Amino acid sequence: MAQLTCKNLTLGYDSKIILQNINFQVCKGDYLCILGENGSGKSTLMKTILNLLKPLGGTIERGDGLLKDEIGYLPQQNEVQKDFPASVKEIVLSGCQSRCGRRPFYNRKEKQLAVDAMKKMEILNLSKRCFRDLSGGQQQRVLLARAICATQKMFLLDEPVSALDPETTEEMYQLIKSLNDEGITIIMISHDIEGALKYASHILYVGHDVFFGTKEEFLCYKH
DSSP secondary structure, 91-122, as one string? HHHGGGHHHHTT-SS--HHHHHHHHHHHHHTT
pLDDT by residue for the chain (223 residues), tens only, comes to: 899 999 999 998 887 889 999 999 999 999 999 999 888 889 899 999 998 889 999 999 999 888 877 888 888 876 556 667 899 999 999 888 776 667 777 888 888 999 999 999 999 999 999 998 999 899 999 999 998 998 889 999 999 988 788 999 999 999 999 999 999 999 999 988 898 889 999 999 998 889 999 999 998 887 6
State the DSSP H helix or E strand holding residue 172, giving kind and residue range, or none if neither: helix 166-181
Give the orientation angle of helix 136-150 with respect to helix 108-120, to 10 degrees: 140
Domain ranges of the chain: 1-66+156-223, 82-152
pTM of the model: 0.89
Residue 118 in contact with residue 174, Cβ under 8 Å?
no
**Domain 1-66+156-223, CATH:** 3.40.50.300
